[in-house]
Amino acid sequence: MKVCARHACTYTPDLDEVWLTEKRADGSARLGALADFAGERVRKSQNLENAYLHGRFGALPHVDQTPLLRALGLIG
């Protein structure tokens, strides 16, 4: 669904258009559709980005910032 106002357009994906992966400790990955959470933890009015970043769907982004911080000279 595309939502347009006078000066801006935003895209709100349908729940079946969003897929999340979560890497397991053994190196394998789990793939799941956001639609799998429908009725359980997802509401249409919910901010999906905020819910994702707060861990409501699993698949949290764990990014090692060490190389970036080293490149910026913030750590040795």
- Shortest CA distance to 23 belongs to which of 68, 61, 67, 57? 61
Q: Pick the residue with more confidence: 2 or 37?
A: 37
Range of the domain at 67: 2-71
For residue 76, being part of any structural domain is answered with no
Render pLDDT for 48-57 as a digit per residue (tens, 0 to 9). 777 777 777 7
3-state secondary structure of 44: coil
Render pLDDT for 19-29 as a digit per residue (tens, 0 to 9). 888 888 898 98
Domain count of the fold of the chain:
1
Is the pLDDT at 3 greater than 60? The verdict is no
For residue 7, being part of any structural domain is answered with yes
